[in-house]
Structure 1
């Protein structure tokens, strides 16, 4: 597999000739879709097939953010509306079973249109005053519940042939600002972070894919956000948390990061990131990111191979209509 350590977006529901030529030349490892890319099921299938065709790799990852609630790129009228993560945290005894079932149904929706990676579960543990960008996306306010529900979601996705991405390492839950708009600073000491924020990630450190946080933790590295910090990536994510899967950045186009897009990519790779993520499909920015992105090689390539090897074309019997009815009934009963 010769490709660049990069995941890119595209501008619309179909590829332009310019985009196709660019992707053939850039050879990104994979792609990510957003609402701007989502049409009918047939249109999404055609788009995912076209993206893979441009780079000549049938198993290339195609990602999406499909959490439920506010973060759901595929929704009505073609796909069901799924609840936000906090809904599962309120289900008490049925939380894990319902979270697994909801994720298994999501995996069916995604795999049916050629999407094989979901940027979920979100394992951030919120505190009082957490910015609303986390809000009801969080499964619960205690680390154990977040870990248990997060694992159920991850396993439900994988049962349906979709890889999960745990996010946002090493924890976005205490942030009081939105990293899409500015750089958050989490001023908790290391002991507090280890006691709460890191724990769900440690519990799911066996997952194949993870996403870094554009957050500064002054007690870990006072100068750089996690995405750009070798200290955080090596000492915290790889060592303390124990995650040895493929680590991607959060979106490099977010305003938490500064400087040229090439420099952002270069700084992330210098810190130890495996794969850069750029989402908005803007050609000028993508060209700059490509300039700062190496070919996927070494340990990063091994991690990419290991992640894709965990993709399962599940042959298990799964009655979608029955499962959806059971899921809806379970939510209604707990309302």
Structure 2
């Protein structure tokens, strides 16, 4: 089992993908809209992937609500973006209840089709003038509110047997560029970062998984994006923030990173990331990523095993009652 997660090409596995999964043995796979057609089809695909891997591997998805929702209408409910919870709650407690409830309902949807890891909550704190890539995907511009709303969402997922992945540690909210397209450079002082960007992650440092940011923080390490920076990973993420869970990279195919795909993977692992992520399903890229990813072992293996503890049990939940409550407040319908 290797320290990487890969995307899949389409609605079903072809022979090349089956062989790749069997031979490369990624820790898990991640689904996107290109992999989603219907409930029955997604359930078959998750079974196929696990069958090819020969184990009950984690299946990930980015199901945030709003602009980032891979399982969409008409087969799944449309969920609101993270920013709407703060606006909808008459009190902080009501907003947190709604964030929990939305995530709990999403967990129910995901578990039905064999998905057990959701890349949520987004704990980035959007700054004025930053790129719209985060914007309403974030819970609040107030770090304390973002921390509590994100925690509520994470707890909702875990109650439904789905492991959360907080992102994008240690913070993408100040970025003035989209890391999918270019490398963002954040020039805020360390004091500013420690006051605003890092606290939501520190408050949730006990969560099982986190996804790194492909962002350069000049006050911390001007030479490398966080994903590939030993200083960012060791001093900030593991040290100051105190996160000791499973650290995965954001997608290695994003244009923020340079070098060959093997080099991208090797640099991230050398910096201290536990697992590398490659999303687009292109085996010509995924193969060198796999070659650059080591066998999952030591602390990284222990973190990976612990990260999945919360997927093994689903707490009792009245879906109909939960949907009625959520729908009344947020406008989501069955």
* TM range, smaller chain: over 0.9
Q: Which residue of 2 aligns with 1:328?
A: 327
Which contiguous aligned blocks of 4+ residues in structure 1 show a shift greater than 6 angstroms? none
Q: Indicate which of 39, 47, 50 corresponds to 2:48.
A: 50
Shift of 1:109: 0.2
Contact 2:80 2:330 in 1 (8 A): no
Q: Which residue of 1 aligns with 2:80?
A: 83
Q: Which residue of 2 aligns with 1:95?
A: 95
Contact 1:14 1:37 in 2 (8 A): yes
Cα deviation, 1:58-117, whole Å, max 9, x if unaligned, reads 2x1100000000000001001000001110121241110000000000000000000000
Distance 1:260 1:230 in 2: 19
Contact 1:175 1:184 in 2 (8 A): yes
Shift of 1:130: 1.2
Distance 1:331 1:26 in 2: 43
TM-score after normalising by structure 2: 0.97
User: How do 1:1-335 residues align onto structure 2 when only pairs under 5 Å count?
Assistant: 3-58=1-56, 60-92=57-89, 93=91, 94-314=94-314, 316-332=315-331
Shift of 1:139: 0.7
Distance 1:45 1:172 in 2: 33
Distance 1:312 1:84 in 2: 27
Report the secondary structure of 2:128's partner residue: coil
Cα deviation, 1:272-291, whole Å, max 9, x if unaligned, reads 01000000000100011111
Distance 1:4 1:332 in 2: 42
Cα deviation, 1:131-168, whole Å, max 9, x if unaligned, reads 01011111111100100100000000000000000000
Distance 1:248 1:145 in 2: 25
Report the secondary structure of 2:45's partner residue: helix
TM-score after normalising by structure 1: 0.97
Report the secondary structure of 2:148's partner residue: helix
Shift of 1:209: 0.4
Distance 1:297 1:312 in 2: 22
Report the secondary structure of 1:284's partner residue: helix
Distance 1:313 1:235 in 2: 34
Report the secondary structure of 2:223's partner residue: strand
Contact 2:161 2:311 in 1 (8 A): yes
Contact 2:211 2:250 in 1 (8 A): yes
Contact 1:160 1:312 in 2 (8 A): no
Distance 1:321 1:4 in 2: 40
Shift of 1:332: 4.6
Shift of 1:309: 2.1
Report the secondary structure of 2:186's partner residue: coil
